[in-house]
């Protein structure tokens, strides 16, 4: 069978309709946001979690701050209804990400609607399937990739929270 898809021009043409449907789903508590924030800012020249990277030109503006600001636009447009915000971290950045969010007062987001979970780790291997060793007795691991986010949120017990809250749609970014 063929999976139907819309082309960009149809999405653009029906933008107002889709916006109305989406905001209604937010107001009914059927939508949550899932941020895949397990990465470090290495490619940006930082040893800190990517979400802590300052992108401001004239004053500090953090990547996480902009993401929360975008989410707050939806909250405000939906009449103050906060969207549950699930944030996937990793073993490498979990503590720093959680501490940063607390220090920054969640950038104005309702902390009771923020849920952190760690990305699962997988054995690291080369393209020939040879497993890398961290030490002689320990296999090297790395994050299981963006494709593993659902397994990670499930193993963290947060799918139960999704069902408890009546969420039907997970906007993953």
pLDDT in tens, 50-102: 888 889 999 999 999 999 999 999 999 999 999 999 999 988 899 999 999 99
What average pLDDT does the segment 133-158 reach? 86
What span, in angstroms and rounded, lies between the C-alpha atoms of 34 and 85?
A: 6
- Kindly tell me if the per-residue pLDDT of 145 is higher than 80: no
Percent of the chain beyond pLDDT 70? 100
Three-class DSSP category at 104: coil
What is the Cα–Cα distance from 69 to 135, expressed in whole angstroms?
A: 43
pLDDT, residue 83, reads 97
14-48 pLDDT, tens digit per residue, is 999 999 999 999 999 999 999 998 878 778 888 88
Residues 6+ apart with CB under 8 A from 39: 49, 50, 90, 93, 143
In contact, 83 and 22? CB cutoff 8 Å: no
């Amino acid at each position: 069978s063929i999976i139907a898809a819309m082309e960009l021009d149809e999405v653009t043409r029906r933008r107002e309709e889709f916006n109305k449907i989406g905001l209604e789903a937010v107001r009914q508590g059927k939508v949550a946001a899932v941020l895949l924030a397990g990465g470090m800012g290495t490619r940006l020249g930082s040893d800190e979690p990517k979400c802590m990277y300052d992108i401001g030109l004239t004053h500090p503006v953090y990547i996480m701050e902009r993401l929360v600001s975008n989410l707050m636009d939806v909250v405000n447009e939906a009449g103050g209804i906060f969207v549950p915000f699930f944030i996937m971290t990793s073993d490498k950045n979990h503590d720093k990400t959680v501490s940063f969010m607390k220090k920054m007062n969640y950038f104005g987001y309702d902390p009771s609607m923020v849920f952190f979970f760690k990305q699962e780790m997988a054995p690291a291997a080369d393209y020939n399937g040879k497993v890398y060793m961290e030490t002689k007795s320990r296999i090297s691991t790395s994050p299981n990739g963006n494709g593993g986010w659902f397994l990670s949120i499930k193993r963290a017990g947060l799918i139960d929270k999704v069902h408890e809250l009546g969420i039907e749609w997970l906007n993953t970014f």
